[in-house]
């Protein structure tokens, strides 16, 4: 392992962080970075660097890196572009192990001066073995260390979890983070790659493959100069942890506007999809779908087969789920005789007792509801369970009693739900069930069914890779 | 107009409501209905009917309808099925103008006794000219009268607005209501048709066509015996107000399970779609899409053409929006020379200044951002504007200043946005902008772009209907 890769651990787990360009002026990014670090709960040493200040947000400020006596593991750089080569030389001299370079104005400005600066700082970082996140990035967050090394303090509001998001766009990182708060997705890391001085998707895959905090790797990809580097890295690590990707740029106009090779993007988009498939990366088609799938992969075992049971407290959501399951290639199985006998025992004769089961007629009989769910969980033909329950005041008791069963469920199969209620009612109960790993919840039956579909697609992708072609 | 249709107004706008089967036992639906009415803010007279109680929730209780001296406009019936014929005769004798029949156990139990009861009560209601919502329904809500005639008091938490939802499923009605709360959709009415004794989709279309509180009609359809009645009614009223529909039941297994004509459902599903198109009904493919589209139709004018401008505070979300726009058949237009000159004046040379515009380089210059949005709003080539802004602490000022411009925008064109932030930050500002009709907001750029796509599809559907074929 080369020095740069060896230093990735310190980059994400520093004992001390210097903010080069720290500021107490809210109009400066150096202010927001200091706020992210200090309010985000980081427990290591925070060292603001600014020759024109003595103290920032209660932390002693230093004129330069060399003025601080102790070691610095991570440098977050927010000074103007033209000052960055000097700062990088200081970092190398100080023995800084990793850099987050927020400053923009390098290669992306399509100006020879920017390109030259880019080459200059790359040479300094590479020769010192310093991995650099950026330039032109919001930064990165390591939730397991409460390290918010970004200019957005609100990333620290996210839930700690096992999904690592690696994104080529700062805007989409913010989008996915704020959507993730609403969907209650837990993140291990969020990394804005920016213009990828020397840390690209492939370096991140290598690092995250060994990261015990990360269970699922979610990528947002726009366009990269060397897609094969990503695909080769994915092939190396594929199917050890799920890798999923959302790729934009299929539109011709986006292609033209982004000054890429005009007219060639659509073809390249297909190249990406094919390459991703070979690399064991599941390609998804939207920001919500990327998060939905990451949440399922982080919270569930993979289904052993395509067999799905649909249990619904009301018939309509069950029908919506059936439509999606069939479209996704899942099999709405016929229950075993034993399961069917158990259900027949618990529901009146005229109810829909076969799959999909309408549990409505037993709505006031929580023992019956619990019994049905239990019988279906134990049926070998069932590889995944979809459970839909729409809140009504009149059915609260039945549902709350089912929670006890679900809490005890060891999660040998995916249990994906849409348990929906007015905001503030049941939210905490459902979150509790998610937190103990009993289920994974979605805001609609269609999205719940889509998540099961993607679990199964990912399982098949990896099975095909293992089988000789 | 026959008496039943004439009585629909009183059904939805009663001066007095009797709850036949009212109860103070939380295990009974009659309890929840009383709670819905009284806590929902209904300002008319509430009359509980129950021979075994003298007072329920502070309202004087009567042994029967005839024991109450005044008139009763609406009867909500929650007594067991076998008592319903007698109750209906009492209602007819009392001159009740409309009934919500929550009780289940009629035709849907597939039992000759249920079918006979269904026929008996239909005859009573029809000869008395009483329109009946149900049986086997949660009820209905008229938000403009604060009338929650359902067993779910939480429907009253929804925002008052102009979308009427008519649904064949109670479960899906609850689903759409709770999703609607999250998406901030305002409803005029929510009606659970249940087993449609004598009020079906066609009667509701006729009534809602004349309802000044309703601007958009959203249907949830599972399977109906006479789809042609719905389609004929839609043809009569189509394109006066938008009618949109979500139809489930494409899955064969759902078909089999629901005991419909086995194997014929897939074909029938296509029949529905074709019929809906002829009837000027836009068919949508999911519960979130139904709400997204209803919200856009309620909050925006229709675009005059397919020309879209995409303005994004960060490049990535703009690319995601482009992909969807192109897939939806929208045209990401080339700006007029005047617009382009204005943008060139406001953004640095190396920014993406053509459509899609990346406003990122002007992120700290709120005058520039505002100027770009204004120039694009005024460009004749632009029929709809997509505006994406992902919150970061560092950009709050620029965005807040843009609010002033948007508040003054007269909404001559659809302005569809994805302005996203951590929950609790900006929410109220965005809601204010929605409430003054300045914009319609979505949780992702893809859904925002999809909503513009559906506005344009609906516009085309109606243009084709107007043109001679």
Q: Are residues A272 and A385 in the same domain?
A: no
Q: Is residue B148 part of a domain?
A: no
Is the Cα dihedral A170, A174, A179, A183 positive or negative? positive
Give the CATH number for residue A127: 3.40.50.720
Nearest residue of B to residue A351, measured between CA atoms: B109
Q: Are residues B307 and B261 in the same domain?
A: no
Surface of A (404-463) touching B: CB under 8 A:
418, 420-423, 425, 443-447
Confidence tier at B253 by pLDDT (50, 70, 90): low
Contacts of B301 (CB under 8 A, 6+ apart): B411, B412, B413, B414
Number of independent structural domains in chain B: 3
Nearest to B171 among A111, A151, A390 (CB): A390
Among A337-341, B231-235, B400-404, which stretch is predicted with the lowest mean pLDDT?
B400-404
A445 contact residues in B (CB cutoff 8 A): 175, 287
The string of DSSP codes covering A392-410 is -GGGHHHHHHHHHHHHH--
Tens of pLDDT, residues B412-457: 899 999 999 998 888 888 888 888 888 999 999 999 999 999 999 9
Tell me what the pLDDT averaged over chain B comes to: 91
Q: Do B322 and A254 touch (CB under 8 A)?
A: yes
Q: Does B319 touch chain A (CB under 8 A)?
A: yes
Candidates B57, B180, B220, B320, partner chain A, best to mutate (most A CBs within 10 A): B320
At A169 the pLDDT is: 93
Contacts of A401 (CB under 8 A, 6+ apart): A366, A367, A369, A370
Tens of pLDDT, residues A255-277: 555 543 333 344 577 778 888 99
The string of DSSP codes covering A336-386 is PHHHHHHHHHHS-TTS--SSSEE-GGGTT-HHHHHHHHHHHHT-TT-SEEE
- Cβ-in-10-Å burial (0-12, 13-18, 19+) of B2 comes to exposed
Mean pLDDT confidence for A390-409: 75
CA distance B295 to B180: 9
Burial A106-129 (b: 16+ CB within 10 A, else e): bbbbeeeebeebbeebbebbbebb
Give the CATH number for residue A205: 3.40.50.261
Choose one of A249, A284, A299: the last residue of a domain: A299
Whether the CB-CB separation of A187 and A165 falls below 8 Å is answered with yes
CA distance A310 to A325: 9
CA distance B354 to A415: 47
Tens of pLDDT, residues B332-384: 999 999 999 999 999 987 678 899 999 887 777 778 888 898 899 999 999 99
Q: Are residues A256 and A310 in the same domain?
A: no
**Quick check: ipTM above 0.85?**
yes
Cis peptide before A131 (omega within 30 of 0): no
- What number of H helices and E strands is found in chain A? 16, 20
Mean pLDDT confidence for B160-177: 97
| pLDDT of B26 strictly over 80 | yes
Q: Are residues A47 and A131 in the same domain?
A: yes
Tens of pLDDT, residues A26-37: 989 999 999 999
Locate B71 and state its tokens.
């008139």
Confidence tier at B254 by pLDDT (50, 70, 90): low
Identify which of B158, B170, B282 has the alpha carbon closest to the alpha carbon of residue B216.
B282
Tens of pLDDT, residues B87-99: 999 999 999 999 9
Whether the CB-CB separation of A126 and A135 falls below 8 Å is answered with no
Q: Is residue B46 part of a domain?
A: yes
Candidates B141, B252, B254, B365, partner chain A, best to mutate (most A CBs within 10 A): B254
Q: Is residue A234 part of a domain?
A: yes
Q: Is residue B149 part of a domain?
A: no
pTM to 2 decimal places: 0.95
At A265 the pLDDT is: 45
Among A208-222, A353-367, B339-353, which stretch is predicted with the lowest mean pLDDT?
A353-367
Domain that holds residue A48: 1-137
Mean pLDDT confidence for A449-465: 94
Residue A74 in 3-state DSSP? strand
Q: Does B182 touch chain A (CB under 8 A)?
A: yes
Q: Is residue A149 part of a domain?
A: no
At A466 the pLDDT is: 66
Whether the CB-CB separation of B150 and B36 falls below 8 Å is answered with yes
| pLDDT of B109 strictly over 90 | no
CA distance B140 to B137: 8
Q: Do A251 and B170 touch (CB under 8 A)?
A: no
Candidates B57, B166, B315, B351, partner chain A, best to mutate (most A CBs within 10 A): B315
Helix (H), strand (E) at residue B25: none
Q: Are residues A312 and A287 in the same domain?
A: no
Choose one of B299, B329, B361: the last residue of a domain: B299
Contacts of B344 (CB under 8 A, 6+ apart): B353
Q: Are residues A44 and A167 in the same domain?
A: no
At A256 the pLDDT is: 53
Q: Do B169 and A352 touch (CB under 8 A)?
A: no
């Amino acid at each position: 392992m080369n020095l740069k890769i060896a230093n990735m651990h310190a980059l994400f787990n520093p004992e001390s962080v210097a903010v080069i360009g720290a500021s107490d002026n809210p109009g400066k990014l150096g202010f927001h970075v200091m706020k992210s670090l200090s309010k985000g709960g980081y427990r290591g040493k925070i060292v603001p660097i600014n020759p024109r200040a003595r103290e920032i947000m209660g932390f002693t400020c230093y004129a330069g890196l060399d003025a601080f006596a102790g070691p610095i593991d991570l440098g977050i750089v927010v000074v103007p572009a033209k000052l960055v080569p000097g700062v990088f030389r200081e970092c190398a001299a100080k023995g800084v192990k990793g850099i987050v370079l927020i400053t923009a104005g390098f290669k992306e400005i399509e100006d020879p001066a920017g390109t030259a600066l880019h080459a200059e700082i790359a040479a300094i970082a590479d020769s010192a073995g310093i991995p650099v996140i950026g330039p032109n990035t919001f930064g990165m967050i390591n939730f397991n260390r409460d390290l918010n090394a970004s200019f957005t303090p609100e990333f620290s509001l996210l839930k700690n979890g096992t999904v690592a998001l690696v994104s080529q766009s700062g805007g989409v990182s913010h989008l996915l983070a704020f959507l993730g708060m609403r969907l209650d997705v837990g993140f291990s890391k969020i990394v804005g790659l920016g213009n990828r001085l020397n840390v690209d998707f492939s370096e991140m895959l290598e690092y995250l493959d060994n990261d015990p905090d990360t269970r699922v790797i979610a990528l947002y990809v726009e366009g990269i100069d060397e897609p094969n580097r990503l695909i080769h890295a994915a092939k190396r690590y594929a199917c050890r942890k799920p890798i999923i990707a959302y790729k934009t740029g299929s539109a011709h106009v986006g292609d033209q506007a982004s000054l890429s090779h005009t007219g060639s993007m659509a073809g390249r988009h297909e190249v990406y999809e094919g390459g991703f498939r070979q690399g064991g990366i599941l390609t998804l088609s939207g920001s919500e779908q990327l998060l939905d799938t990451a949440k399922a992969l982080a919270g569930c075992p993979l289904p052993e087969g395509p067999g799905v049971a649909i249990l619904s407290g009301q018939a309509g959501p069950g029908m919506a789920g059936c439509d999606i399951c069939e479209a996704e290639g899942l099999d709405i199985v016929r229950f075993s005789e034993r399961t069917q006998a158990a259900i027949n025992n618990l529901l009146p004769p005229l109810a829909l007792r076969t799959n999909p089961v309408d549990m409505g007629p037993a709505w006031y009989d929580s023992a019956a509801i619990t019994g049905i769910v239990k019988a279906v969980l134990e049926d070998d033909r069932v590889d995944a369970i979809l459970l839909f329950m729409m809140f009504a005041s009149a059915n609260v008791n039945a549902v709350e009693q089912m929670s006890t069963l679900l809490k005890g469920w060891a999660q040998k199969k995916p249990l994906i739900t849409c348990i929906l209620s007015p905001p503030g009612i049941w939210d905490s109960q459902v979150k509790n069930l998610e937190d103990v790993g009993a289920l994974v919840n979605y805001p609609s039956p269609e999205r719940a069914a889509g998540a099961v579909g993607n679990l199964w697609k990912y399982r098949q992708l990896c099975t095909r890779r293992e089988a000789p072609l």
